[in-house]
Amino acid sequence: MSALPRLSLIVPAFNEVATIQNTLHAIRDYLEPRGFAYELIVSADGTDGTREAAAELAGELPVTVMGAPQRRGKGRGVREGVLAATGEVVGFLDADYKVAIDEIEKVLPWFDRGYDVVIGSRKAAGAAMNARRPWYRTLGSKGFALLLRPLVGLRGIGDTQCGFKFFRGPVARDLFGRQRIDGYMFDVEVLSLALRAGYKVKEIGVSWKDDGDTRLQLVSGNWKNMKDLFRIRFGRARR
């Protein structure tokens, strides 16, 4: 029987056919020369051929592909990927590669220091933003933070939404086995569950590149996010 991989990487995607193969190759080109035993799980919704493009690489990469034609939500995609993962450390990284895989070198040492969850951050010490965000996204982010802290808590966490988060394998399976939010607020829910369970969470600064693309609808998307925050706060999140 082969040994379990050291690292399971879930790559959530929605209509990312233009980027998915480059991202998977970049991950492979970084991890393999360093001797990492790893698996890739692409959880891709949409009809543009992202799943098919990822599956084309199955002969050269340890990649599994899942997903559906309809858009089911990033939270659901990550959850299904995590629950299929077998690694000692399980994490996720966005298909558009806003945070490069080499930032994993900042993550792994914290598990050796006793942490259960290590999350990338655009606000913690050492963070670097490699592009200027549109003013309305910066303003929206500040407004979100003002709402988040009194409503959900998460004291001590400056950035809940960076798509670069890692967990001890058993911790990942525990948290995502209880996680219910299908949309973008799944990060908040998972962190809330982690803190309530007493897991040790470390936030680290990472280098983050904004490509200007966002899949969030400013009005309908933010309204759904607000409703999900109330579901998290009052325990009514359901699959």
**Ordered domains of the chain (ranges, CATH):** 7-233 (3.90.550.10)
pTM here is: 0.87
pLDDT the model gives residue 155 = 76
d(CA 57, CA 153): 42
Q: Supply the pLDDT for residue 137.
A: 57
Q: Given this model, what pLDDT does residue 239 score?
A: 42
The pLDDT assigned to 43 comes to: 98
Instruction: Give yes or no for a contact between 36 and 62, defined as CB atoms under 8 angstroms apart.
Output: no
Q: In terms of Cα–Cα distance, which of 122, 191, 211 is closest to 158?
A: 122
CB 116 within 8 A of CB 168: yes
Q: Is 6 exposed, middle or buried (CB count within 10 Å of its CB: 0-12, 13-18, 19+)? A: middle
Query: What does the alpha-carbon distance between residue 19 and residue 47 come to, in Å, rounded to a whole number?
Result: 15
**Listed residue (120, 154, 115, 123) closest to 232, CA to CA:** 154
- Residue 73's contacts (CB-CB under 8 Å, 6 or more residues apart) are 181, 182, 183, 184, 186
Long-range (24+ apart) CB contacts under 8 A made by 29-32 are 30/100, 30/101, 30/102, 31/7, 31/101
CB 117 within 8 A of CB 194: yes
Mean pLDDT by 10 residues, the chain (239 residues): 81 97 98 96 97 97 97 96 98 96 97 98 90 57 61 80 96 97 94 95 94 52 72 62
pLDDT of residue 133: 59
b/e burial code for range 139-164 (CB count within 10 A of at least 16 → b): ebeeebeeebeeebbbeebbbbebbb
Closest CA to 201 of 92, 120, 117, 122: 117
